[in-house]
Chain A
């Protein structure tokens, strides 16, 4: 079955530690996204990538980093610089690129990150 796989489902971070969240898709989608969701709030865009080896900052990129070495994979690293990392992290993908991209995004089932 085609889909988006995020791992792990739950993750705990210690002070000063970097952690990496995995996102893999087999939908052959060009575009991939990372969002953060806090309780009672909408999704906020962290980073997005239109094609391999290219990615752009979203609205809240500080304290995060990404890479896009393969079309299928878009891992997110939460660095120690992110002082409030506790949230629900969602990875998404969509077809199409550029200004004509009006396709809906499809989500993985998320990773819950907490601070120890």
Chain B
């Protein structure tokens, strides 16, 4: 079993749709959680950190479920510019950080 697993997709959605990504992790000692966005042939960029209480940044909402060991990312009112690969990132603290392989999203007009 991979330490961090994501549905590779692709998710094909129309503009304005709501889309949700899930990510599961295997190490119950994991402490920090992040979502990154990676455009084609570019570097990953931090989208948002994920807190235990859940957090929102504009159209993006992240949730953490420690009991079930998964995190989620919800994108509301999808834009064409949201098309990218979304990486789930889990850290056990120190320097052990695991990157998921990513979920590809295509938003179509």
- A: residues with CB less than 8 A from B are 31, 33, 35, 40-43, 45, 48, 50, 56, 88, 90, 98-102, 104-110
Smallest CB–CB gap between B88 and chain A, Å? 9
- B: residues with CB less than 8 A from A are 4, 8, 31-32, 34, 41-46, 49, 87, 89, 91, 93-95, 97-102
A35 to B36, CA, bound (A): 15
B43: nearest chain-A partner, CB-CB? A107
Smallest CB–CB gap between A13 and chain B, Å? 19
**Complex contact A102–B87 (CB within 8 A):** no
Q: Can you give 24 contacting A-B residue pairs, CB < 8 Å?
A: A31-B95, A35-B99, A40-B8, A41-B101, A42-B98, A42-B101, A43-B44, A43-B87, A43-B99, A45-B97, A48-B95, A50-B95, A98-B94, A99-B94, A101-B94, A101-B95, A102-B31, A102-B91, A104-B34, A104-B46, A105-B46, A106-B46, A109-B43, A110-B43
